Amino acid sequence: MFLRRRDLMAGALGAVLSLISGGASAADMPKLKCTRVGQTVIYRNQKFTCVKKSGKLVWGKGVPLPVKSATPKPTPSPSASATPSPSASATPTQSSTPTPTPTPTKAQIKLANSSEIPTGTVKVFQAGRTTGLLVSIVLIRDNAGLRALQAECPHAGSLVKDNGGSELICPSHNSLFSAKDGALLRGPSSDGLASYVVSETGGEISVTI
Distance separating alpha carbons of residues 9 and 1, to the nearest angstrom:
13
Distance separating alpha carbons of residues 46 and 171, to the nearest angstrom:
21
Q: What pLDDT tens digit does each residue of the chain (209 aa) get?
A: 444 565 556 555 554 444 444 444 555 777 777 788 878 878 877 888 888 888 888 878 878 877 666 566 666 665 544 555 555 555 656 656 666 665 555 788 888 889 888 998 898 888 777 777 878 888 888 888 899 998 889 998 889 988 887 889 999 998 999 888 889 989 899 899 988 889 988 888 988 88
Distance separating alpha carbons of residues 206 and 200, to the nearest angstrom:
6
> What residues contact residue 16 under an 8 Å CB cut-off, 6+ apart?
none
Phi, psi of 200 (to 5 degrees): -135, 110
| Beta-carbon count within 10 A of 154 CB | 21
Spell out the domains of the chain, with CATH numbers in brackets. Answer: 2-64 (no CATH), 108-208 (2.102.10.10)
Distance separating alpha carbons of residues 59 and 38, to the nearest angstrom:
10
Q: Is the pTM of this model over 0.75?
A: no
Q: Is 45 left (phi over 0), alpha (psi -120 to 50) or beta?
A: left
